[in-house]
Structure 1
Amino acid sequence: MAKHRIYTMSVAKVYPHYVTKAEKKGRTKSEVDEIIRWLTGYSQEKLEVQLENETDFETFFVEAPRMNPSRNLIKGVVCGVRVEDIEEPIMQEIRYLDKLIDELAKGKAMEKILRK
């Protein structure tokens, strides 16, 4: 079975859309970065390197320093699919990130987004 094209897409191509989505709702780029760091364990510096290198989504998540163990608390629907029901691990990680950005854009408090 062929990989979904999102796997080979550069995170750097989608990242500005995450930031724009957040900023349109009065949130900040630093909050987007905080969410990504919380989910993946990347430091700010390493996140910026991944963006500069135009790392694809699959590599970005496979090489993530420490996927947050609390990410399994992320529930809900993204693109018409319940994130907790996605069986393909990398796709689930991508959709977890999408869901967190959606929550940010909807005005949810960072403490709740980060499952604290």
Structure 2
Amino acid sequence: MAITSDKHNERIAKMTFASVYPHYITKVEKKGRTKDELHEVISWLTGFTVDDLNQLINDKVTFSDFFNRANLHPNANLIKGVICGYRVEEIDNKLTQQVRYLDKLVDELAKGKKMDKILRN
């Protein structure tokens, strides 16, 4: 298990989705992917529609609230690999792991992976 510190986990839990979302857009668009593709990836992981995302952004929900409201895809556990120096499948804190799942999917999208691979079909 990858041990993340309590301080690290707390910082992630209190971070707002709205503060990170623009960075996701910038990252994928800089690599030639679209906002629609980003939404598809986020929707696959969380079950949120674009309207849901806009509401969550407007409400400035924390990642803790974001993932408490999400319906995580049953195949989310198939997301593997290293992100931010941690192997996502080994992260011991559930919320931190879920945030890193999202980071990993955004990363794969930006790196040009095919959508069916990203969505674990």
**1:84 and 2:108 aligned:** no
1:103 corresponds to which of 75, 92, 108: 108
Partner of 2:40: 34
Alpha-carbon shift at residue 85 of structure 1 (Å): 0.2
Identity of aligned residues (%): 54
Matched to 1:57, the amino acid is: F
After superposition, residues 40-59 of structure 1 pair within 5 angstroms as: 40-59=46-65
Alpha-carbon shift at residue 53 of structure 1 (Å): 0.8
2: CA distance between counterparts of 1:59 and 1:73? 23
2: CA distance between counterparts of 1:48 and 1:12? 9
Alpha-carbon shift at residue 18 of structure 1 (Å): 0.4
Matched to 2:30, the amino acid is: K
1:15 corresponds to which of 21, 37, 57: 21
TM-score (norm 1): 0.95
Runs of 4+ in structure 1 deviating by more than 4 angstroms, as ranges, are: none
| SS at 1:4 equivalent | helix
Aligned residues: 115
Matched to 1:29, the amino acid is: K
Partner of 2:118: 113
1: CA distance between counterparts of 2:84 and 2:51? 30
Matched to 2:119, the amino acid is: L
Alpha-carbon shift at residue 4 of structure 1 (Å): 2.3
Q: Alpha carbon RMSD of aligned pairs, Å?
A: 1.0
**1:71 and 2:76 aligned:** yes
1: CA distance between counterparts of 2:94 and 2:85? 18
